[in-house]
Amino acid sequence: MKLVILDRDGVINQDSDAFVKTPDEWIALPGSVQAIARLTQADWTVVVATNQSGLARGLFDMAALNAIHAKLHHEVAQAGGSVDAIFLCPHGPNDGCSCRKPLPGMYHDIARRYDVELAGVPALGDSLRDLQAAAAAGCSPWLTLTGNGRRTLDKGGLPPGTQVCDDLAAFADLLLRDAA
């Protein structure tokens, strides 16, 4: 199985300091849904791993989050692709869970669900916590310069071996080229 793990906000869609709380606020980044479509058409299994502390903060409920994710699935399907699963942490930053990035719990859940080792699985994020969780789980961390990516790169401290790309489309291009 060719598996790829993507963060959501700042990678697939525009991020917001006020949180993405409704489907109308979920706006795909240019080329992102097409990139997912190209990956799935090349037999990659695309999975999303996303912190969603807005649930714990009471900014939106599970019905709103499901509607946001339905929009994501619909737009990707319209482009000819699919997101196989969305894994999320609904906890706040101080809840002490093991699934909130930078901890690798969500990634371990993905490994169990798909019965795979995560060694070398490409994982794309825009924040240091995305990269730390991916590296802790054995994935190959990738930083996109969309969302918070440029700030993350400028701050430094990236896990060893982190690769950098401009956006999700460039990431897909590199994976598809390397697989060819």
Residues annotated as catalytic are 7, 9
Cα–Cα distance between 142 and 153 in angstroms, integer?
11
User: Is 126 within any annotated ligand binding site?
Assistant: yes
Cβ atoms of residues 36 and 13 within 8 Å: no
3-state secondary structure of 38: helix
Tokens of 104: 């690798």
The angle subtended at Cα 116 by Cα 157 and Cα 167, nearest 5°, is 45
- Is 24 among the annotated ligand-binding positions? no
91 is in an annotated binding site: yes
Residue 165 labelled as part of a binding site? no
Residue 97 marked as a ligand binder: yes
**What angle is formed at CA 168 by the lines to CA 148 and CA 115, rounded to 5 degrees?**
105
Reduced DSSP (H G I as helix, E B as strand, rest coil) percent helix, strand, coil of the chain, to 5 = 40, 20, 45
Q: Is 84 marked within a binding site?
A: no
Residue spans of alpha helices (H) in the chain: 32-41, 62-78, 105-114, 128-136, 149-155, 168-179
Binding-site residue ranges for Zn(2+): 89, 91, 97, 99
Binding-site residue ranges for Mg(2+): 7, 9, 126
Binding-site residue ranges: 7, 9, 89, 91, 97, 99, 126
